Amino acid sequence: MFRPSLRSSVTTLAAAVVLVGGASLASYATTNHGHGAGAATGTPKTIKFHLASPGKTYNTTNPVHLFTAKVPKGTYEVGLSGIVLDQSGGGTDNYTCLLADKRTILKLLTSPGPDPDFSRVYAIDGASQSDGSYTFGIVDSTNPVAKIDRPNIVYGCILSGTGPYVVGRTPTFTLTPVKVTTKSGTPLPVAKSQARRLLGSLR
């Protein structure tokens, strides 16, 4: 199963937003879009955001579908899921879905650079039809331990190419509070020759 690199996904994200016409994220982002219960109560419940319901069609004349929200600071398991079906059958369409720190995304807009900061891109998934992946359009990504230390986030998808895209299963963005205990292990002594045999057995 093919998955693009984090660098290529973030680069695609930045390029797609810039290609829209250089408009600011604020012209696309709105608050209170698909908020789940728990986002404002401060209780340790899963927070859920979502895009459109099944059957919704997205044309690529406006490829950016990003929204801003505020969540309590904390440590979460962040998950992306959903199915977005491409209708063109061409080979140039691509998508990127993510949940990330708002300040990080705004910096990508103004100065993407060759080495973007991934530390506050909490979960991201994307694909291009040119990759030939049979999973194209299936959004599936989980970050089991994400520390969110700035409350303003951005979530959503960029759907580029010829399109259109039809929602098969609602794209959903979840943050589930988790408790984490950090521990340290001890090195396992493995000789170089043993490492080669181990790698061969694991392939």
78 with 120: CB under 8 angstroms?
A: no
- Tens of pLDDT, residues 91-147: 778 999 999 999 999 988 887 777 777 899 999 999 888 877 778 889 999 999 999
Residue 177, class by beta-carbon neighbours within 10 Å (0-12 exposed, 13-18 middle, 19+ buried)? middle
The whole-angstrom separation of Cα 166 and Cα 11 is 24
Q: Answer whether residue 18 shows pLDDT above 60.
A: no
Residue 17 in 3-state DSSP? helix
